[in-house]
Amino acid sequence: MPALKENASQLNSQAIELASKGDFKEAIACFKKALIMERENYLLWFNLGVTYRDSGDLVMAKEAMEKALSIEDEDEEVIETLALIDYNLGLVQEALKRCAEGLSANSSNAHLWNTLGVIYFNCEEYSLAQEAFEKAVTINPYYYDALFNLRDTYMETGNQAGYLMCINQMKNIKDNGQINA
pLDDT tens, position by position, 48-92: 999 999 999 999 999 999 999 999 998 999 999 999 999 999 999
| Integer Cα distance of 177 and 49 in angstroms | 32
Alpha helices in the chain (DSSP H): 8-20, 24-37, 42-55, 58-71, 76-88, 92-105, 110-122, 126-139, 144-157, 160-176
SS3 (DSSP) at 109: coil
Q: Are 129 and 137 in contact (CB under 8 A)?
A: no
| Tens-digit pLDDT string for the chain (181 aa) | 455 578 999 999 999 999 999 999 999 999 999 999 999 999 999 999 999 999 999 999 999 999 999 999 989 999 999 999 999 999 999 999 999 999 999 999 999 999 999 999 999 999 999 999 999 999 999 999 999 999 999 999 999 999 999 999 999 998 887 666 5
Q: CA angle at residue 135 from 157 to 102, to 5 degrees?
A: 120
